[in-house]
């Protein structure tokens, strides 16, 4: 881990897409997230937050700048090493649940450990515990079509958590949910934060972002405002 328990550090990150003329989407972004923080990255459509998510999640590489994830300099890693880092250090929750209809809840969650080297028995045991953590211990054998939207998103959260990631990334996690399910998922994410999970939520919803301890506002590919660290350095182990 990097100094002061940093789990994520971006230094002067820029992203330029080729063209005539080239399109610069990110303009020198600096961002640090420490262990135990709960952060919203908020901005309107076209602000660059999706590109930023892809770079934070090592799904894309910046044109220039530094990206450190869980103490690793992403620029020095091969594609294979980046895949291993994602499997070990990052958990992803998306607006779309991306669950397999032909698999039960426990099998969908166990799939989150496919690339970790864990045995089938170990994957299933871990999946059961993750589903219990998100309040779905009674839905282990249910298929997604038998679950509500909120329950499907809880399965997706469990899948993201099953590998005990250093950082959980949630992209518009309530975008497809009704008001009741939205409240349920936000309550779950708050509980996970209280238990020590480091969370970064990407959203266009300013009302949602205002409920989180730290807000990073993105506009035109730049950080327009950052409320700062949501906890004192070293306050969590």
Give the pairing of strands 23-34 and 6-17: antiparallel
Tally Cβ neighbours within 10 Å of residue 67.
23
Predicted confidence at residue 95, as pLDDT, reads 86
Please tell me the pTM assigned to this model: 0.88
Distances (CA, A) of 168 to 13, 24, 27, 35, 177: 21, 27, 24, 11, 19
What tens digit of pLDDT does each residue of 11-25 get?
999 999 999 999 999
pLDDT at 234 over 80: no
pLDDT above 90 covers a percentage of the chain that reads 83
User: Domain residues of the chain, as ranges?
Assistant: 3-223
Distances (CA, A) of 178 to 92, 99, 151, 182: 21, 19, 12, 6
CA 186 to chain centre: 14
Predicted confidence at residue 231, as pLDDT, reads 53
Omega before residue 21 within 30° of 0, cis: yes
Q: What is the topology classification, in CATH, of domain 3-223?
A: Rossmann fold (3.40.50)
What tens digit of pLDDT does each residue of 87-122 get?
889 999 998 899 999 999 999 999 989 878 889 999
Distance CA 130, CA 163 (A): 9
- Average pLDDT rounded to a whole number, residues 198-206: 95
What tens digit of pLDDT does each residue of 19-45 get?
999 999 999 999 999 999 999 999 999
- Average pLDDT rounded to a whole number, residues 184-209: 93
């Amino acid at each position: 881990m990097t100094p002061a328990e940093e789990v994520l550090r971006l230094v002067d990150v820029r992203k330029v897409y080729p063209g005539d003329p080239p399109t610069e989407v990110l303009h020198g972004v600096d961002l640090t997230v420490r262990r135990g923080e709960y952060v919203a990255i908020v901005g309107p459509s076209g602000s660059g937050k999706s590109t930023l998510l892809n770079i934070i999640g090592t799904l894309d590489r910046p044109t220039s700048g530094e990206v450190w994830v869980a103490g690793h300099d992403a620029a020095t890693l091969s594609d294979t090493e980046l895949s291993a880092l994602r499997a070990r250090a990052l958990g992803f929750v998306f607006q779309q649940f991306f669950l397999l209809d032909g698999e039960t809840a426990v099998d969908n969650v166990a799939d989150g450990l496919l690339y970790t080297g864990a045995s089938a028995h170990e994957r299933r045991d871990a999946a059961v515990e993750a589903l219990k953590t998100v309040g779905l211990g009674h839905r282990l054998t249910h298929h997604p079509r038998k679950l509500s939207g909120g329950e499907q998103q809880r399965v997706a959260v469990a899948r993201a958590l099953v590998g005990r990631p250093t950082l959980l990334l949630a992209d518009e996690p309530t975008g497809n949910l009704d008001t009741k399910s939205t409240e349920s998922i936000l309550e779950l994410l708050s509980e996970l934060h209280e238990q020590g999970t480091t969370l970064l939520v990407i959203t266009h919803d300013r009302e949602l972002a205002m409920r989180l301890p730290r807000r990073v506002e993105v506009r035109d590919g730049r950080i327009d405002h950052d409320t700062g660290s949501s906890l004192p350095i070293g306050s969590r182990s």
